[in-house]
Amino acid sequence: MVLHGAGGSAEQALTWLSPQAAADGLLLLAPQASGSTWDLIVGGYGPDVVRLDTALADVFQRHPVEAAGVAIAGFSDGASYALSLGLTNGDLFGAVLAFSPGFMAPLLRHGRPRIFVSHGTADRVLPIDRCGRQVVRTLRDDEYPVTYREFADGHDVPADVAAEALRWWNAP
């Protein structure tokens, strides 16, 4: 499951992962937030959680999905939401991929998903020191297995970082 950033779209969320996902034979689901960003960002968990649950149930019914391979990913606000949902549902999501997250706010924590975080050192939207690095520090303090990748760019998902993240996801 791939979650777009604020003001973005499901289609945009697919653009940075689709090339590598297609080459690796991965199935991607990119839902659209009910508003301009995910509900948690604007006031707490709500209708988007229900929409995501419904979308996942539909995918699980239509496609053979290996439980260990289920992951949640996102960019920017979508990364913050992916981390929050991924930690809350770590028994469902075996991996969380967060590209330039701002924060995380899991309700509860279940399971121990593997986590990949990337962030641009020149990010002016969500500055790396108070966002990406702080998120990683908190995750490591809580003893989550974290792979962290900084890159010399701004608020973006460079193609090489997306490819690296998907290779990481596919690794045992």
Q: Residues 109-141: pLDDT tens digits?
A: 999 999 999 999 999 999 999 999 999 999 999
More confident call, 73 vs 41: 73
- Is the separation of the CB atoms in 97 and 164 below 8 Å? no
The answer to whether residue 146 scores a pLDDT higher than 80 is yes
Per-residue pLDDT of 7-47, as tens digits, reads 999 999 888 888 778 777 788 999 999 999 999 888 888 89
Average pLDDT of the residues of the chain: 93
- Is the separation of the CB atoms in 169 and 103 below 8 Å? no
**Residue 2's pLDDT band (cuts 50, 70, 90):** very high
How confident is the model at residue 172, as a pLDDT? 64
User: Per residue in 31-55, is it b (16+ CB within 10 Å) or e — as a string?
Assistant: bebeeebbbbbeeebeebbeebeee
CATH topology (fold) of 2-170: Rossmann fold (3.40.50)
What global pTM score does this model have?
A: 0.94
**Residue 56's pLDDT band (cuts 50, 70, 90):** very high
How confident is the model at residue 68, as a pLDDT? 80
The answer to whether residue 85 scores a pLDDT higher than 70 is yes
**Residue type for position 13:** A
